[in-house]
Structure 1
Amino acid sequence: MSSLEEQIREIEDELKNTKYNKATSLHIGRLKAKIAKLKDEAVARAMKSSGTGEGYSVKKSGDGTVVLVGFPSVGKSTLLNSLTGTKSETAAYAFTTLTVVPGLMEYKGAKIQILDIPGLIAGAAMGKGRGKEVIAVVRTADLIIILGDVFNDRHIDVLVKELYDAGIRINKPQPDITIKKSGMGGVRLNTVGTATLDLDEIRTILAENKIVNADVLIRGNVTQEDFIDAMIGNRRYIPAFVAINKVDLVDDQTRGEIESHLTEQFGQPPIMISAVSGYNITGLKDAIYNHLGFIQIFLKPVGGPADMEEPLIIRKDSTVEDVCNRLHREFVDRFRYAKVWGDSVKHDAQRVGLPHVLADGDILTIVTKL
């Protein structure tokens, strides 16, 4: 009997050789669903093949967690040291880092956890190398830095594929799809907006997962891949960007070619750095801070002045309730109202409730029951 990897390859070859049109859309949807199911099974099998390796269980801390993902020897450990001052072992040979090494970067008032993980290799999602442990750590991240160097920039797409195969969707909002299994009635579809998938395609995809009765709600345009991801249900949607290390070792022409190639491939320019010389490390820190979507909130005690020296760092779209939970677990239970000065309200000192969404630079007073 063929292995899972062989079955996946066979179906991928068939998919490549099938031209998409209305007549073949159902067959293509079925093939994509089969591939996704087999890959998910292969990844799950790899994850269960052994326990988590020593050093791979890292407690999240700080205001956000960033994972450095790259091939061995692209300079992840040196970069961690440059960003945080953490002493992660470095050497000029592959696989120096055998466990996850955490470091803390403090920037613009935010405390950001940076994780240096062992280098990924092709096939990591299926468990090759230390893939299963590494992927498990990456799935918990708030931001992924896909790190290459000037000698390995063409391999960035391999890393992206490994993340995709492991169920990690980078720089993509989670599609608004609800699938509720039911006991009878077949598949019923409701849509909000213009739908690109029809009922027959949805039935075909669900059938591959042995779902024949379900209520489906789709908001907005979604692809077959989006629907398959929703059906499987274990995908992680994480922001990411590409950084290229060792730029001080090539000339301006080579550097420009690398930037141009990666910008065309990923739709955004890579951050060009040198972890050894410190070139553009501040630019990298800015990119990390901005991609994490931080905003600053200034707290004002009742009857006192606002503390404008030490802001509270929270994520964009956070609510008053989120701030209460950050400050003390009893604040939500004892909450009466809050007052806000800033862009999120119509007038200064406006009273708001727990669901109020805060904006960058807001001043906040929380009033609780005695």
Structure 2
Amino acid sequence: MTTVEKIKAIEDEMAKTQKNKATSFHLGQLKAKLAKLRRELISDSTSAGGGGGAGFDVARTGVATVGFVGFPSVGKSTLLSKLTGTHSEAAAYEFTTLTTVPGVIKYKGAKIQMLDLPGIIEGAKDGRGRGRQVIAVARSVNLLFLVLDVNKPLHHKQIIEHELEGVGVRINKQPPNIVIQKKERGGVNITTTVPLTHLDNDEIRAVMGEYKINSANIAFRCDATVDDLIDTIESKNRRYIPAVYVLNKIDSFSVQELELLYKIPDAIPISSANGWNLDDLLELMWKKLNLVRVYTKPKGKLPDFEEPVVLRNDRCTVEDFCNSIHKSLVSDFKSAFVYGTSVKHSPQVVGLSHELEDEDVITILKK
């Protein structure tokens, strides 16, 4: 049997197995086996060329990358053209885009790359169409635009989420707060800080046994599910990516219907053809990317507000700022003056470990 056939067999068995106390061990085992097979598919798609081969590997530019994922003919190519000025073939028939089409937008001083990916279809995670190549690129971006046609059933949203979940992409989620420490002997010891209402000891034993982890300390600091436990074990193969649901073609909707669309979490209704509401889309993009702009102020001169140094929020200390300009700045560093919200008074003398915030101004003093 091929890997895809093995996956199908396990999914069929899980579908016909009723969940109860007597079957929890078996279902936990099946879920762990399924996750391991899914990992094989991910490895196959990435080892076949990283981003999926010819037409999919794109040189990365800018401080962040946004990937457009959606069904064929939902308006991804038109949206890329409107936002970046890049021409991406657009037509009223399916599968117009057959390769990754890159574009760059400069927003709030930051250069952000945008990738228009070919239309995804159901079964993409199992290799249907060019699904594995599309998903391999989608796994590597900093933000996903999940582009949906609001005139079609919103179960398309569920299908895309299911396809991405199947290859280890977790949308708008944080890693589960579970700590596993392997040890040489002593069996599996479980501690919890909150009651586990979705997971029992049989499932935990089944999962740990399937991964041949016979001795470990497991600390559950959240009300975890069996999927959360597997995600923790498979953490190297999981990608936690923020996403925006781009609800396109709202020009055919009434005002009352638009008000309902705004209530969908992480969603922005737009019309790519008419260029409607793109400002709100970009604003949400900026919020989701969590970027930090730092302006430089040479000693004795005015700050440069035209070209900020843009850092990711998980790397925005003064040391990160110095390294982004030139590594020699760290070895020559004496101190820094910082103006802005990250300090109690402006200016304030800080060291390399000081964490910068958006729109701070900095002056570096060398030894």
TM normalised by structure 2 equals 0.88
Report the equivalent of 2:209: 207
By how many angstroms is 1:247 displaced? 1.3
Tell whether the 8 Å contact from 1:105 to 1:111 is kept in structure 2 after alignment.
Answer: yes
Deviations 1:39-98 (A, max 9, x none): 333444455578832121112211210000000111111110000000111111111111
SS in 1 for 2:144: strand
Counterpart of 1:249 in structure 2 is 252
Q: Show the counterpart of 2:318.
A: 320
Q: 2:239 aligned with 1:236, yes or no?
A: yes
Which one of 328, 343, 348 corresponds to residue 330 of structure 1? 328
The amino acid of 2:249's aligned partner reads K
In the alignment, the residues of structure 2 paired with residue 33 and residue 345 of structure 1 have an alpha-carbon distance, to the nearest angstrom, of 48
CA contact (8 A) 2:25 2:205 kept: no
Unaligned runs of 5+ in 1: none
Query: Any idea what SS the aligned residue of 1:347 has?
Result: coil
1:301 counterpart = 2:298: yes
Compare 177-186 and 206-215 and name the one that shifted more: 177-186
User: How does 1:1-370 map onto structure 2 within 5 Å?
Assistant: 3-14=5-16, 17-19=18-20, 25-45=24-44, 52-154=52-154, 155-189=156-190, 193-194=193-194, 196=196, 201-233=203-235, 234-252=237-255, 255=258, 259=261, 263=264, 268=265, 270-317=267-314, 318-369=316-367
For residues 237-268 of structure 1, the C-alpha deviation after alignment (integer angstroms, 9 at most, x for no partner) is 000010111111344455556x27x82xxxx0
Q: CA 1:226/1:106 → structure 2, altered by over 3 Å: closer, same or farther?
A: same
Report the CA distance shift for 1:9/1:175 in structure 2 as closer, same or farther (over 3 A). Answer: closer
8 A Cα contact 1:11 1:35, kept in partner? no
CA distance in 1 between counterparts of 2:14 and 2:126 reads 16
Distance 2:281 2:357 in 1: 24
Would you say the 8 A contact 2:27–2:203 is kept in 1? no
The range that moved more, 62-71 or 305-314, is 305-314
CA distance in 1, matches of 2:112, 2:125: 26
- Aligned positions, number: 359
Deviations 1:171-212, CA, capped at 9 Å, x for gaps: 111224343444333224455x43636666433311111221
Between the aligned partners of 2:158 and 2:11, the Cα distance in structure 1 is 18
SS at match of 1:311: strand
Deviations 1:115-149 (A, max 9, x none): 00111111111111111111111111100010011
Displacement of 1:315 after TM fit? 2.7
Cα 1:111/1:45, change in 2 over 3 Å:
closer
Deviates more, 1:74-83 or 1:47-56: 47-56
Judged with a 3 Å threshold, the aligned counterparts in structure 2 of structure 1 residues 152 and 44 are, in CA distance, closer, same or farther, namely farther
> Is the contact made by 1:195 and 1:222 (CA closer than 8 Å) also made in structure 2?
no
Structure 1 outlier segments of 4+, above 6 Å? none
Q: Percent identity?
A: 45
Shift of 1:24: 5.6
| TM-fit CA distance, 1:324 | 1.3
Larger mean Cα displacement after TM superposition, 172-181 or 227-236: 172-181
Contact 1:150 1:255 (8 Å CA) reproduced:
no
**Could you tell me which amino acid in structure 1 is paired with residue 275 of structure 2?**
G
Q: Which is worse superposed, 335-344 or 318-327?
A: 335-344
Q: Compute the displacement of 1:282 (Å).
A: 1.4
Which amino acid counterpart does residue 36 of structure 1 have in structure 2?
A: A
Q: Give the secondary-structure state (helix, strand or coil) at the position aligned to 1:331.
A: helix
Q: TM-score, normalised by structure 1?
A: 0.88
Judge conservation of contact 2:342–2:360 (CA < 8 Å) in 1.
Answer: yes
RMSD value, Cα: 2.6
